[in-house]
Amino acid sequence: MKQKVAAIILGAGKGTRMKSDLPKVMMPVCGKSMIRHIIDTLEKMNIDEIVTVIAPDGDIVKKEVAPHKTCVQDKQLGTGHAVKCAAPLLKGFDGAVMVIFGDTPLITQKTFERSVNKIAEGYGVVVLGFKPADPARYGRLKMKGDELEGIVEYKDADEAERAIDFCNSGFMTFDGKHLFEILDKIGNENAAGEYYLTDAVKVARDMGLKCTAFEGDPEEVASANTREELALLEQYLKKRNNA
């Protein structure tokens, strides 16, 4: 890849629903932590910067991602706030910036590169979408041709929006020239009082930036919040490795 690329991995989540004292991203898939799968893929790409957002007690994650940089999210104020914590470490970075959830270890190098190439085409925000067998709980991607008009959370969606089967995987890539300006403009006027990364699409469009989404494999974008979902990730990875 010719352009500069950075990655921000969100790794501050706790393993509570996994019934573990380990941070969620440290839970193993086929003998390797979820976040290590992501780091290994990124290192193959030789990207310029990898920054992981960790919790105040996230020393084990810091050690796992070393020698790459980390920053601390002191309070969990939402995904938009988590990404913003990386701002001091990426100040002035004007390449593509991928934002990756640390519990989605199966996204491939090809998909990462595809998102970066979309930034090179002139998009300000690129979202990886997918079409799950059961879209019920996922945010919906509202498309008009190649343009992504917005992301609507399931609980906020009307009947027509809930009928959309193109869903948000969580993985997003930004033009680094605009990323932190976009994050600065995201508000927290919602029931949880949190700063949602998904609001970045509306903010970017209001700034006159183009946004788009492309489709990935549901197994590739799978994440794990429970031990059952972790076991599914193992199945998917073993199937891929045996293909």
Residues taking part in catalysis: 17
Can you say whether residue 242 is alpha, beta or left, with left for phi > 0 and alpha for psi between -120 and 50 degrees? Answer: alpha
Cα distances from 135 to residues 38, 127, 232, 237, in angstroms, run 25, 17, 17, 22
- For 158-170, the three-class secondary structure string (H helix, E strand, C coil) is CHHHHCCCCEEEE
Kindly state the DSSP code that residue 113 receives in the 8-state scheme.
H
Angle between the N-to-C axes of helices 34-44 and 109-120, in degrees from 0 to 180, rounded to the nearest 10? 60
| Contact assessment for residue 87 and residue 198, using Cβ atoms and an 8 Å cutoff | no
Residue written as tokens 């300000």?
124
- CA separation for the pair 217, 223 (Å, rounded): 12
Q: Is 74 helix (H, G, I), strand (E, B) or coil?
A: coil
Nearest residue to 200 via CA among 216, 187, 213: 187
- CA separation for the pair 173, 200 (Å, rounded): 11
